[in-house]
Amino acid sequence: MVDNQEKTEEKILKAAEEVFQKKGMTGARMQEIADTAGINKALLHYYYRTKDKLFEKVINMAFSKFFPRVINIMGSGISVFEKIEVFVSNYLDLIAKHPFIPGFVINELNRNPQILISLFEKNIRLKEEGLIDKFNIQLQEEVEQGIIKPIDARNLMVNIVGLCIFPIVAKPIVQGVIFGNDKKQYNDFLKQRKEHVIDFVISSIKMD
Condensed to tens digits (0 to 9), the pLDDT of residues 117-165 reads 777 666 665 555 677 888 999 999 999 999 999 999 999 999 998 999 8
CB atoms within 10 A of CB 138: 18
Domain match, 68 and 135 both: yes
pLDDT at 37: 94
Domain match, 61 and 115 both: yes
Using alpha carbons only, give the angle 98, 28, 179 rounded to the nearest 5 degrees: 55
Domain match, 69 and 99 both: yes
Domain count for the chain, please give it.
2
Domain match, 133 and 71 both: yes
Give buried/exposed letters for 84-98 (b at 16+ CB in 10 A, else e).
bbbbbebbbebbeeb
Domain match, 2 and 85 both: no
Domain match, 27 and 62 both: no
**40: domain range?**
1-49
Structural contact between residues 205 and 149, judged by C-beta atoms closer than 8 angstroms: yes
pLDDT at 14: 92
Domain match, 154 and 178 both: yes
Domain match, 86 and 155 both: yes
Domain match, 35 and 68 both: no
Low pLDDT (below 70) residues in the chain: 1-3, 120-129
Domain match, 194 and 97 both: yes
